Structure 1
Amino acid sequence: MLSYFVPVMRMNSATSRFGYLKNQTMAILICMFTMISSFQHSLFALHGLIAHLKGKTEEIL
């Protein structure tokens, strides 16, 4: 009876570990995706700001 329980417990711990790893990977991917999208947003904002400043300086000149 005990010899039956040991591999089952091992399998459960392995699957929970795999689930944990999968969750970690998903969390990292989501974090990277949000970082990239916010980075793109800041790039767009910076680009708009530069274009705005360029327009202003051309108006002054």
Structure 2
Amino acid sequence: MAPQARFFIRKSRSKVVVKFDPPISGKYILLKLWSPQPEGNIDVQSIIAYGFAGPRYFPCVEPR
């Protein structure tokens, strides 16, 4: 599978927002975080996903 998004957070910023157009749907989220420094640290405060939860998952589509 190919990545859906790649991003870089500049030193002057503290957050990033990734919006998909068109919206994507899925059951699982896989995050891989790399530090630019060899011995660097990554502090994650929160990861927020918006959508449906429960036994049935519906595709993320917009009405015509």
TM-score by length of 2: 0.17
Give the number of the structure with larger relative contact order, counting CA–CA contacts within 8 Å between residues 6 or more apart: 2
Q: Which has the larger radius of gyration?
A: 1
TM-score by length of 1: 0.17
